[in-house]
Homo-oligomer: A and B are copies of this chain.
């Protein structure tokens, strides 16, 4: 992969917007102008071509980098209006369709703009999250197992991004630090429970990029605090 296809190399903060939730035009303008490095359009539940299309359309006049992260690979839109398509696989999924099956069907049934596609290796950590339930993720992992998954993604698959997904809860900074110390090539993304300057700063000590989502919908001022 050449450097041009690593747009996140200078990023620290991504805002994840959920097509199933609504935002006022004012809030959207605040978010885009907040200093966040990119907008990721993502979500696990009730994601449709219609609501994804609407959100992309609301963002189209803004110059900020736009990433589509489809809920499942089959749901990738054509990607014309976004800069990148981040397509996850879930390393600790309990069902292999979240590692290879859905991806195979996606490739089978679509003409793919590969130059926009970035693979992400997710490790799903919160058993209560929608994504953990959907993917039947095995979350009772030792720290060493988490590190082994991450090294599998980095050293064996050579994927560019390892994504620690605590979706809906705040993660373990000690574990994120161990990942930081273990990875040498992949970028480390962290998502989950960041809702203040303190939590943002703590995870940014170890992660290359933090992904901030829910607080956008609950407290826009707190969201602004998370910008580094």
Judging by beta carbons under 8 Å apart, are A156 and B96 in contact?
A: no
B148 and A104: CB pair below 8 A? Answer: yes
* A73 and chain B: residue at smallest CB distance: B156
A96 contacts which chain B residues (CB < 8 A)?
A: 93-96, 99
Contact A152 B1 (CB under 8 A): no
> Chain B residue with minimal CB distance to A112?
B155
Q: Which of A156-193 contact B (CB under 8 A)?
A: 156-159
Q: A96-B93, A99-B99, A100-B91 are in contact. Are A108 and B148 (CB under 8 A)?
A: yes
Write out the residue numbers on chain B whose beta carbons fall within 8 Å of the beta carbon of A12: none
A117 contacts B by Cβ under 8 Å:
yes
Q: Residues of B contacting A155 with CB < 8 Å?
A: 107, 112, 114, 117
Chain B residues in 8 Å Cβ range of A151: 107
Copies of this chain per assembly: 2
Interface residues of A in 72-125 (CB under 8 A from B): 87, 91, 93-96, 99-100, 103-105, 107-108, 112, 114, 117, 119
Q: How large is the interface on A (under 10, 10 to 19, 20 to 34, 35 or more residues)?
A: 20 to 34
Query: Is A144 part of the contact surface with B, judged by Cβ < 8 Å?
Result: yes
> How many Å lie between the Cα of A114 and that of B158 in the bound state?
11
Q: Are the CB atoms of A104 and B149 closer together than 8 Å?
A: yes
Residues A100 and B103 in contact, CB atoms below 8 Å apart: no
* CB closest residue in chain B, given A104: B148
9 contacts across the A-B interface (CB closer than 8 A): A1-B158, A96-B99, A103-B152, A103-B156, A104-B145, A104-B149, A105-B148, A107-B152, A119-B156
Instruction: Supply 15 further A-B pairs (C-beta < 8 A) apart from A1-B158, A107-B152.
Output: A91-B100, A99-B99, A99-B100, A100-B149, A103-B152, A104-B145, A104-B149, A104-B152, A105-B148, A107-B151, A108-B145, A108-B148, A114-B155, A117-B155, A157-B159
| Chain A contacts to B: CB under 8 angstroms | 1, 87, 91, 93-96, 99-100, 103-105, 107-108, 112, 114, 117, 119, 144-145, 148-149, 151-152, 155-159
